[in-house]
Amino acid sequence: MGQRLLIDASVLVAAERGKFDLRAQLSSQPELECSLATITVAEILHGWHRAQPEHKARREAFIQRLLEEFPVLPFDLEAAHAHARLGAGLAERGILIGAHDLILGATAVSREAGVATRDLRSFPRIPGLEVVRW
Q: Report DSSP letters for 84-128, one per residue.
A: HHHHHHHHHTT----HHHHHHHHHHHHTT-EEEES--SSGGGSTT
User: Domain residues for 84?
Assistant: 4-133
- Let me know: does 66 contact 36? Beta carbons within 8 Å: yes
Supply the pTM of this predicted model: 0.94
Domain count, the chain: 1
In what side-by-side order are the strands of the sheet with 72-73? 72-73, 33-37, 4-7, 114-117, 131-133
Q: What is the pLDDT of residues 53-93, one digit of tens each?
A: 999 999 999 999 999 999 999 999 999 999 999 999 999 99
In terms of Cα–Cα distance, which of 35, 23, 27, 12 is closest to 112? 35
Q: Are 35 and 70 spatial neighbours (Cβ–Cβ below 8 Å)? A: yes
Encode pLDDT of 41-55 as tens digits.
999 999 999 999 999
Quick one: CA dihedral 79, 118, 9, 25, positive or negative? negative
CATH number at residue 54: 3.40.50.1010
pLDDT of residue 1: 52
Query: Per-residue pLDDT averaged across 107-125, rounded?
Result: 97
